[in-house]
Amino acid sequence: MKKVISMLIVLTMLATLFVGCSSKKSETPASSENGTDATPTTVQSADATESPTDVASTASGDVTIWYYWETEGHQKALNQLVQEYNDSQSNIKVEAKYVPFADFKKQLSIGASANELPDLIIQDNPDTASYAQMGIFADLTGKFDVSTYYPGPVNSCTLDGKLYGVPFGSNDLLLYYNKDMLDKAGCKVPTTWDELLETAKKCTTDTVSGFAHSSVQNEEGTFNFLTWVWSAGATAYDINSEGGIKALTMVKNLVDSGAMTKEAINWTQGDTMNQFISGNLAMMINGTWQVPTMREQAPDLNWGVAAIPMDKQQASGLGGENYSVISGGNEAAAIEFMKYATQKEQCLFMMNAMGYISSDSTIAKDQFSGDDVYQAFVDEMQYANARGPLAEWPEVSDAISLAFNEVMTDASSPEDAAAKAQTTIDGIVK
């Protein structure tokens, strides 16, 4: 059965390379203060009324998990969670495997053709709808209780009213700044684009770049770049607009002035953090999940976080991952592991180890009491925009990341890059 499903997945993946889809685009608005979406769809609530199916009595065998976290602390936390689960019972054995973010989608395709898919994956939340449309995920409707989860993350797991995943955790982006470097340059924490450009230039030296964020040509780079687009009042689907062109121009101005290193096109978010820790960056945009590593690896670094400098409006990006069960795999055992991993004690262990905000509202409400840095990320959730949800989001993201990479490398002007991206996006979502 799994082999048949795998072959169908491969055919579907190939088809999506050539066939434009007409799915309705939908960019989720900024979240409310408690991390829920301001206008959640109704698909989420349908699952919340159903009782989970009891699969514990028949679940057994091996479960393989694929994940893409590159941070060593995240990997260790997941491995510890897996080991503690394996030690807690004898019917199911779970193993976690790291797959680099840039190769994750390709490896799923290769795994499908070779009948070597995992049983469970932890994937970037905007990709869930795309994979679900391919038929790669098991329908979890009625098999897992998400009634206490925030609607926004749950909506990222739904397609056509069915639940194809369980939110792992949520995060967002803020401006990290080196307090000593800003003080030495005589600068305050910037709050606007103009202030950011000026402050970044003043902090730039022969050995220090004033500012950077991950700008790799994939979803990781898109996640960071879109904060400019949203702040300028545009959406991810309207890059060839006043706001979209203004966002591309902002990045160009940062690079052209020397305040943002062009090397950022090769930096993951982890690379960017390492540059900041090493004293090579005065400011960066990065996420909640970096806090534990920052505190562990650079305990003496004098740093803080603040809202990302804005143009028309404050904006951040809503990130996080979802668990999803592979259809045709060891579904019952994978669900049992998810139930264990999402219990309060285990969830808090992973959230605190990774610097994430729990997607379960009953757990998140008291998660960061007394921690000003984490609380700043929680407060920013009201300005965090979600990518999608859209089954074709990966294709939209590719068009956006190509646009800002071409601008940063002087391959295109902001206007030309925006027009090119828009043509691609319109062919996907209209």
Residue-level pLDDT at 25: 56
- Helix 393-408 vs helix 219-231: angle between axes, to the nearest 10 degrees? 80
Residues 337, 249 share a domain: no
For residue 358, name the pLDDT band (cuts at 50, 70, 90).
very high
Residues 205 and 85 in one domain: no
Distances in Å between the Cα of 259 and the Cα atoms of 46, 80, 163, 166 are 49, 41, 45, 40
Q: How many domains does the chain have?
A: 2
Asked if the model's pLDDT at residue 202 lies above 90, the reply is: yes
Same-domain status, 400 and 274: yes
Number of residues written out for the chain: 430
**Whole-angstrom distance, CA of residue 197 vs CA of residue 249:** 12
Which pLDDT score, from 0 to 100, does residue 27 have?
59
Statement: residue 61 has pLDDT above 50: yes
| Domain with 99 in it | 2-11+20-171+318-385
The Cα 108–Cα 10 span in angstroms is: 9
**Residue 161 pLDDT more than 80?**
yes
- Kindly state whether residues 302 and 413 are assigned to the same domain: yes
Residues 270 and 412 in one domain: yes
Strands 92-98 and 61-67 come out as parallel
User: CATH number for the domain including 359?
Assistant: 3.40.190.10
Least confident segment among 6-20, 27-41, 96-110, 389-403: 27-41
Residues 145 and 290 grouped into a single domain: no
Q: Where are the alpha helices (DSSP H) in 72-218?
A: 72-88, 104-113, 128-134, 151-155, 179-184, 193-203
Q: What is the mean pLDDT of residues 94-107?
A: 92
One-letter amino acid at 100 equals P
DSSP at 302: -
Judgement on whether residues 281 and 418 belong to the same structural domain of the protein: yes
Residues 156, 182 within the same domain: no
Give the Cα separation of 161 and 139 in Å (integer). 10
pTM of the full structure: 0.74
Q: Which residue has the higher pLDDT, 369 or 201?
A: 201
Q: For 228-287, how does the pLDDT look when each residue is reduced to its tens digit (9 = 90+)?
A: 999 999 999 999 999 999 999 999 999 999 999 999 999 999 999 999 999 999 999 999
**Where is pLDDT greater, at 150 or 226?**
226
| 17 burial type by CB count under 10 A (0-12 exposed, 13-18 middle, 19+ buried) | exposed
Q: What phi and psi values does residue 137 have, to the nearest 5 degrees?
A: -105, 150
> Looking at the DSSP assignment, which residues form a beta bridge with residue 123?
322
Confidence of residue 57 (pLDDT cuts 50, 70, 90): low
